Amino acid sequence: MIAMIFISGKSGAQNGHNKAEFKEKDIYVLAEVEKSPEFPGGMTEFYKFIGKNFKIPLEARKNNIEGKVYMRFVIEKDGSLSDVTTLKDLGYGIGNEAIRVLKLSPKWTAATLQGKAVRVMYTLPIMVNTDK
């Protein structure tokens, strides 16, 4: 286990993450950035935003569909969301509704690496409850 950590740390430096060799790549993952992106007011406010705007499709409600829909998107340098996709859909239009709502999202505070805003891939679950 220690050897794996050492090798992992070494490869990060070789990939240009030290200050002298920093080269921007297209999209980062959360583990690579210094400051994570943030929804205005934090994740509690994000889930309030989802709850306020998410409309459970009629077919999903009729079939009492519940569970988590997993979403992935890119938080751009300007804080907007792009490339919104469904990783795990519950069906009955739920994934499409999640995409619609995420596209309505206000801008986030962008992630940063060495003081520069960078694009970040973000994945999260949205809990769907038809008793809403």
Would you list the DSSP string of 25-51?
-S-B-GGG-SB--B-TT-HHHHHHHHH
* Amino acid at position 60, single letter: A
Mean pLDDT value across residues 116-121:
98
What is the chain's mean pLDDT, rounded?
A: 86
Q: What percent of the chain has pLDDT over 90?
A: 78
- In the chain, where the domains are located: 42-128
Residue 72 has pLDDT above 70, yes or no: yes
- Mind listing the pLDDT tens digit for each residue in 17-47? 444 455 667 999 999 999 999 999 999 999 9
Give the pairing of strands 116-118 and 120-128: unpaired
Chain-centroid distance, C-alpha 17: 22
For the full predicted model, state whether its pTM sits above 0.95. Answer: no
pLDDT for the residue 67: 97
CA distance 69 to 27: 23
Domain 42-128: give its CATH code: 3.30.1150.10
